[in-house]
Structure 1
């Protein structure tokens, strides 16, 4: 925790005199001389070929000098032509506005109100604002004799569009997922929550990248203290660049060295909308389809979006996920402990069968399990990194071939292959990839404790893990709530999933004040008709 606080408070060292000055961002005000501004912009940007500079003379007598700057590939060049260049070249000639602009009477106000037919126009007064707007895709407008300019929002670039999420798929439910464009993502959320209290606040983070980061929450539902804490942690970030929401996650999370994630991420707009209605805060980062949600609770990583679109199954599928969580965490360690120290716990026929399988295996159970787990982790990573067409085939065929060959060679027993396979399959059942990584890491620790101390070592490891989980907090909210502390009224969406009409309140530790979520009465049975 101390390390991350130092990282967020870190300030760049002062540049050595005569070195690095060309890379420093200029914050000096704009000049009144148009040619000086043009030369300054070209020099600072290294005469880059994708920076388009258009110098023009306006009016009947061509006495009004202007300059337009935009970035090729980030700006909509057709809109620049239709909504800026054509109105300036045609609509201003022979009018009273031309005489006033040529005389310098409120030139920018006249251009903004009567000539430029664009909605998003922001004034700029210094080079820092100019470069940020220009490199963000906006069009810059400068006028001779004025020390300020316009930033005109005509951005347009190629994006991936709205597609189905690849990591969080559902059988029933919305099929739309976030893209890498920030405004597309905010629009997807506003399509689902048409509330005037859904607030959006923007920040720019990164000294070099100046990445757009948006904070979305429902005013009156979200806890104001948590909102302030989110702003404070984001404002403390001082770093060269933010390229993905994972960079933000590492810099604002509560516990750095814990394997358990305390910031939730998703690429589904419906999940974000549901979380906002519960009082959580969404952090959207430009350039990534993954949105961060805070505060995050342990139970949240076992809830899938599909749970709320099917009829209530009383949490049977969710209980299956909890069972798979313990299988993925403890199956190899239990096998090691029982076969090494506690053989009396096994039925005699099973014990004889396992002894016969392990008769030709030269390694103890721990080394046997460790080899198989490492081999499977290698196959898993190979399947992820390989081209999609062959990655799945390599992972499946590799597991079958290596497992069968290892058993026939007498390196591992057939029972160990079964245990490792069940563990791997159970790990895939977990809805969140973050919690699955934590389980994969802790599995090896429990295997070591089981090899050294048997079931007693596993018990000590589980108690230490439970104590650590109980001590975690996500933006001030207990990580294990509503289990620790136990809140009876919030168990309706815990291990069990009650019908929707019973969800009358929001989570107590997340929201403050507006806790009523629904007043829907239970469905009533239709009255039976008399046979008369």
Structure 2
């Protein structure tokens, strides 16, 4: 069961106070707390029992000048040990010299919070102290007092912010998310300097206790959408969350659909743009991919490059992308259907060329296309798995050698090699990898229908896909919107990309609370000129 809590990250806002009950799920009683008394020795025995056979757990014991025994517990490699030594241990020892009575030490530490370390917290719950240590913190124990103090002084190696490897652009930001949740939220804060940007933190995973942060813009996003996301997350009971895909498969409306209903991205500007349209962003600690919901089919066919180019060029690129999306889905099937059932559709001279090329091929067009598509998928997968230094060379050489050898051996025709190559190139044009994978999967059943019934089979397959897409939704938003159902005002950012000064409204399906993006035409100066 997810545990809702206040975000621990600096600079964030939000946190659902109504959901927070001392770190426990709502409407549940807190677990029993282990009783160890005020003795430091008993506390250390309990923690050492919990961290049995953990060589990286450090227990630093030291005495204050007043004779009080103390201990600082942390995990080596997760905290800044210099901070622990200089600002906790040394500061406490120096301050203790001026405090004569043990009661003054307790008051200075627990009531006045005199240590110069921010983000500290007082607790009496041993389990909460244990969680703080596991969450890259340090725990301070003082003999003679039940209270403990936790410090958030995490410091561990992280990957530097680099250019997005999978969503590169020619004109636009070059920053991408990394595996550190706090840095990812900082990248979002730099773009959304607004008090309405909310970040609500929760924990999922009984073993990993992974931090998840739900983000949205209050006043733009519909409250029902936020409540629905929280409801779906509340049903997740799993022992580990090692990536955003764990969450994605648990919250999508139809997990058995081949089409993705959650968009993932590694670009902060993409998430910021989605939040400004009234959508939700979900960040998972330990993964550089953020999730966006709800999504539509047209969103998955759009690229961030569309919004950094001039609208005329962006519209032309979109037309090319939509056309080649159909090519990646239908080209092999059309070749099979026309050459097998409808040769009269091909010009006679071109038909003689194809017939001459296929004369020595012993397989029907369907089996020929099926073998070549499988070979291409194998080469694509091999290029991903083998080392990058040789991956590209192996994939290109393998394709050339296999294609040339297959044609010379008479196993496949040259026309089929061209068809499969064009199909593969078209599939790479689709910006979203999961949508491209959906088209690759659907390509095979449509090929089978084309081999069985010709163009009639292709038409039936497309009708079935259209019916499925019409019934598909992402968090209640129709997958084919704004085309079906038709929302005329939202068509400015679908097949075409209207100039920014013409897109006055946000998408009505997601931003009904505050649909106005800009109140007037930003090129009004041109009308007033002269």
Distance in 1 of aligned mates of 2:332 and 2:393? 25
2-side partners of 1:215 and 1:526: how far apart? Answer: 43
Return the alpha-carbon distance in structure 1 between the equivalents of residues 399 and 248 of structure 2: 34
CA 1:210–1:427: 2 relative to 1, 3 Å: same
User: CA contact under 8 A between 1:176 and 1:268: conserved in structure 2?
Assistant: yes
Q: Which residue matches 1:247?
A: 246
> Relative to structure 1, is the Cα distance of residues 56 and 44 closer, same or farther in structure 2, using a 3 angstrom cutoff?
same
Which residue does the alignment assign to 1:179? Answer: 178
Q: Which residue of 1 aligns with 2:144?
A: 145
Query: Residue in 2 aligned with 1:18?
Result: none
2:110 to 101, 108, 111: 108
What's 1:72 paired with?
76
**1:404 aligns to 2:404 (yes or no):** yes
Structure 1 residue aligned with 2:319: 319
Counterparts of 1:391 and 1:354 in 2: how far apart (Å)?
33
- Written as runs of structure 1 = structure 2, the 5 A alignment for 1:281-296 is 281-296=280-295
Counterpart Cα distance in 1 of 2:449 and 2:126: 60
SS of the aligned residue for 1:79 comes to: helix
Tell me which residue corresponds to 2:40: 34
| Contact kept? 1:26, 1:128, Cα under 8 Å | no
Contact 1:29 1:147 in 2 (8 A): no
Distance in 2 (alpha carbons) for counterparts of 1:52 and 1:453: 71
Bigger mean CA offset, 187-196 vs 143-152: 143-152
Q: Distance in 1 between matches of 2:116 and 2:374?
A: 63
Q: Deviations over 1:278-319 (max 9, x none)?
A: 111100000000000011111111111111111111611011
CA positional deviation for 1:234: 1.1
2:107 is aligned with 1:125:
no
After TM superposition, the runs of 4+ consecutive aligned structure 1 residues lying more than 6 A away are 526-529
Aligned equivalents of 1:137, 1:501: Cα separation in 2: 47
Q: Report how far residue 144 of structure 1 moved.
A: 1.4
Q: Distance in 2 between matches of 1:303 and 1:161?
A: 27
How do residues 474-513 of structure 1 correspond to structure 2 at under 5 angstroms? Answer: 474-513=474-513
**Aligned-residue offset at 1:451:** 0.7
The offset of 1:456, in angstroms, is 0.7
Q: Which residue of 2 aligns with 1:451?
A: 451
The correspondence of residues 258-337 of structure 1 with structure 2, limited to 5 A, is 258-313=257-312, 315-337=315-337
Structure 2, unaligned stretches of length 5 or more?
1-30
2:61 to 52, 55, 59: 55
Deviations, residues 244-295 of structure 1 (Å, cap 9, x unaligned): 0011101111111100000110000000111111111100000000000011
Q: Which residue of 2 aligns with 1:13?
A: none
C-alpha distance in 2 between matches for 1:261 and 1:191: 29
Q: For the structure 1 residues 493 and 473, does the alpha-carbon distance in structure 2 shift closer, same or farther, using more than 3 Å as the test?
A: same
Distance 2:183 2:109 in 1: 35
Distance in 1 between residues matched to 2:34 and 2:496, nearest whole Å: 61
* Per-residue Cα deviation, 1:223-257 (whole angstroms, up to 9, x for no partner): 10110111111121100100000111011111111
RMSD across aligned positions (CA): 1.6
Secondary structure of the residue that 2:206 maps to in structure 1? coil
Is the Cα contact below 8 Å between 1:30 and 1:126 reproduced in 2?
Answer: no
Show the counterpart of 1:367: 367
Q: Distance in 2 between matches of 1:70 and 1:140?
A: 7
In 1, are the aligned partners of 2:110 and 2:122 still within 8 Å (CA)? Answer: no
Q: Hey, what's the Cα distance between the residues in 1 that align with 2:240 and 2:158?
A: 21
Q: 1:398 to 1:233 in 2, by over 3 A?
A: same
The Cα offsets for residues 349-368 of structure 1, whole Å up to 9 and x where unpaired, read as 11111110000000000000
Which string of whole-angstrom CA distances, capped at 9 and with x for unpartnered residues, describes residues 489-524 of structure 1? 100001000000011111111123211011241524
d(CA) in 2 for partners of 1:107, 1:194? 36
